[in-house]
């Protein structure tokens, strides 16, 4: 271990302030176990940390006699990325090496890669010191290879966050939108389109640790430090974060002028990988260009080689859908009906408001002229929708007029209990609960009348087992349905159809099945079911009145034999023989 003790900050304060706090760190920097050769095609790129030359190809390992690659991070179509250390700075800070290369058969391929390289360098430099965009530290060519050195962002991508922490809540999606939209607004105003917005290119910064690397250990008097401490932008970025959490509670903001090049908050989301950003010019807007990006997050026009600021917004919308469903965006689109069907993939515990649904749906409209045009427009829509709905609608409710009528004709006014029943969709429980084998359907009737859809779905399984004289919670085979007494099937179906206002029930499902001519895949799309058997049987099921027509009851009680459609075929035959429609 290498132990360094060094001052981290020089703070310029107002003339009225004589003494302030200095942050100092004991920064523990582990020596890298390995170093990597950056030569394309090297047969043995891994080297010991003590090596100066590659044992595989003999090339000098330091780039520009300064940057040492220590860990591969990613690889793409036009290059690869390494975690590295800057050997020229005593603290050996981390940075990122982005190497552009193409295994080309003709010079044109290399020219394309070289153009992207120069483009990224220029764009990153143009973007300056935005706190949520990695800072460009250097760019150069060495041994006919192209390199960019960027600020290292400590954190994890939203793709990794999804894998580790699970599906995003609505609150987290709002956070993503409110953090990324201002970045897109900024780069679009610079005539830049990112063209590869996706969870893997959105990285959340980690907060500074309480000990170890970059920890805060001592507080000293600034007057004891020489007034001219050499500083680098990278150090200033670290200082800014430390000042926000440590000095601000001590110093009054009115009395301090903190000079830093980069100012960020912990947990900020950073937009990375500007390797395929494209300058917005008249030519770029009118002519097709090289198709680059990640296909499943790409806007339709981008697939044709043309991009607009709205193309980034489309990709951001698909990114949000991926984070709340965990499903590839391509599977969320219904080709048959030509519409997005992402709500049917939400798990029961997820609650997505109509407000968020409206924003997301407009982000992913296929037609560009119906999509949000700019990040600013989306932000405006979000802010305007934050006004509580009841404030807007309350003045237009004719309360006085209705109240007057109620007072004058009290005999016609329903009492409180009746009004509650009406609001809950209550209907009299006077159903004929017939059973050929003595099954009691009272509990199913009650649950359905109360719109307790999940419990009613469970009860349906139980009464089916009883009607077939099987043990409770026995999984049923499709052919078991052929033995179900018609009276019992009639009762179960009648209860579902009645209390869902003809939205749910076996006969409703059968009508849809006949409409799609027995195509099971289309049937699943229509009713909002997955076409496969998930590990969690409730995954993708919506136990609510707004679920797609035919969504309930579920098929959770059917034994999966890889032929889900058999269930529908036999059920259709049984309904026909029992004359239930």
- Of 259, 205, 229, give the one whose Cα is nearest residue 24: 229
Contacts of 523 (CB under 8 A, 6+ apart): 509, 512, 513, 516, 529, 565, 568
Phi/psi of residue 313, each to 5°? -65, -40
The pair of structure tokens assigned to 308 is 């607009």
Give, as one character, the DSSP assignment of residue 244. I
Angle at 37 between CA 36 and CA 40, to 5 degrees: 130
Q: Which of 86, 196, 457, 480 is catalytic?
A: 196
Note whether 202 and 270 are within 8 A (CB): yes
Note whether 134 and 151 are within 8 A (CB): yes
* SS (HEC) of 94-111: EEEEEEECCCCCCHHHHH
Specify burial of residue 418 (Cβ count, 10 A radius: 0-12, 13-18, 19+). Answer: exposed
Phi-psi region of 453 (alpha: psi -120 to 50; beta: other; left: phi over 0): alpha
CA distance 564 to 552: 16
Note whether 527 and 550 are within 8 A (CB): yes
Note whether 447 and 428 are within 8 A (CB): no
- Of 103, 104, 135, 105, give the one whose Cα is nearest residue 120: 135
196 as an active site residue: the answer is: yes
Helix axis angle for 442-449 and 453-467, nearest 10°, is 160
Phi-psi region of 270 (alpha: psi -120 to 50; beta: other; left: phi over 0): beta
CA distance 68 to 84: 5
CA distance 422 to 427: 8
Note whether 99 and 88 are within 8 A (CB): no
How many Å from the N-terminal Cα to the C-terminal Cα in the chain?
77
Catalytically active residues, by annotation: 196
């Amino acid at each position: 271990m290498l132990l360094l003790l060094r001052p981290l900050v020089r703070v310029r304060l107002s003339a009225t302030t004589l003494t302030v706090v200095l942050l100092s760190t004991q920064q523990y920097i582990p020596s890298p176990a390995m170093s990597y050769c950056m030569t394309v095609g090297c047969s043995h790129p891994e080297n010991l940390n003590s090596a100066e030359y590659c044992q595989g190809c003999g090339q000098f390992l330091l780039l520009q006699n300064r940057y040492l690659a220590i860990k591969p991070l990613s690889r793409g179509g036009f290059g690869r990325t390494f975690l590295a250390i800057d050997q020229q700075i005593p603290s050996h800070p981390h940075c990122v090496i982005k190497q552009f290369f193409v295994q080309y058969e003709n010079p044109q391929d290399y020219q394309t890669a070289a153009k992207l390289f120069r483009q990224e360098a220029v764009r990153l430099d143009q973007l300056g010191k935005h706190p949520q965009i990695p800072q460009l530290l250097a760019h150069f060519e060495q041994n006919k290879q192209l390199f960019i050195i960027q600020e290292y962002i400590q954190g994890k991508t939203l793709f990794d966050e999804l894998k580790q922490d699970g599906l995003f809540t609505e609150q987290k999606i709002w956070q993503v939108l409110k953090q990324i939209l201002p970045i897109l607004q900024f780069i679009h105003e610079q005539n830049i389109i990112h063209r590869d917005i996706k969870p893997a290119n959105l990285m959340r910064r980690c907060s500074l640790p309480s000990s170890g690397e970059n920890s805060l250990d001592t507080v000293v008097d600034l007057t004891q430090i020489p007034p001219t401490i050499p500083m680098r932008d990278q150090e200033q970025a670290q200082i800014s974060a430390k000042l926000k959490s440590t000095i601000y509670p001590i110093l009054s903001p009115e009395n301090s002028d903190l000079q830093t090049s980069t100012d960020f908050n912990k947990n900020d989301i950073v937009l990375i990988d500007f390797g395929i950003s494209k300058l917005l010019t008249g030519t770029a807007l009118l002519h097709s260009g090289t198709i680059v990006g990640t296909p499943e997050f790409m806007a339709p026009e981008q697939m044709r080689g043309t991009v607009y600021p709205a193309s980034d917004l489309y990709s951001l919308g698909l990114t949000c859908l991926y984070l709340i469903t965990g499903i590839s965006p391509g599977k969320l689109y219904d080709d048959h009906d030509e519409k997005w069907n992402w709500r049917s993939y939400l798990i029961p515990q997820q609650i997505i408001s109509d407000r968020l649904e409206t924003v997301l749906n407009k982000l992913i409209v296929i037609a560009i002229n119906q999509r949000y045009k700019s990040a600013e427009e989306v932000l405006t829509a979000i802010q305007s929708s934050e006004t509580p709905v009841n404030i807007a609608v309350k003045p237009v409710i004719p309360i006085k007029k209705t109240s007057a009528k109620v007072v004058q004709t009290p005999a016609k006014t329903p009492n409180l209990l009746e009004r509650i029943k009406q609001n809950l969709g209550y209907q009299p429980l006077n159903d004929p609960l017939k059973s050929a084998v003595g099954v009691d359907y009272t509990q199913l009737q009650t649950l359905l009348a109360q719109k307790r859809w999940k419990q009613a779905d469970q009860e349906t399984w139980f009464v089916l087992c009883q009607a077939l004289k099987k043990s409770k919670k026995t999984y049923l085979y499709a052919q078991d349905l052929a033995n179900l007494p018609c009276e019992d099937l009639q009762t179960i179906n009648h209860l579902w159809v009645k209390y869902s206002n003809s939205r749910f029930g076996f006969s409703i499902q059968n009508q849809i099945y006949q409409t799609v001519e027995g195509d099971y895949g289309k049937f699943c799309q229509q009713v909002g079911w997955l076409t496969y058997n998930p590990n969690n049987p409730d995954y993708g099921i919506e136990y609510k009145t707004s679920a797609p027509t035919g969504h309930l009851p579920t098929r959770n009680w059917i034994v999966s034999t890889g032929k889900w459609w058999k269930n529908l075929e036999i059920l259709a035959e049984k309904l026909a023989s029992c004359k239930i429609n």
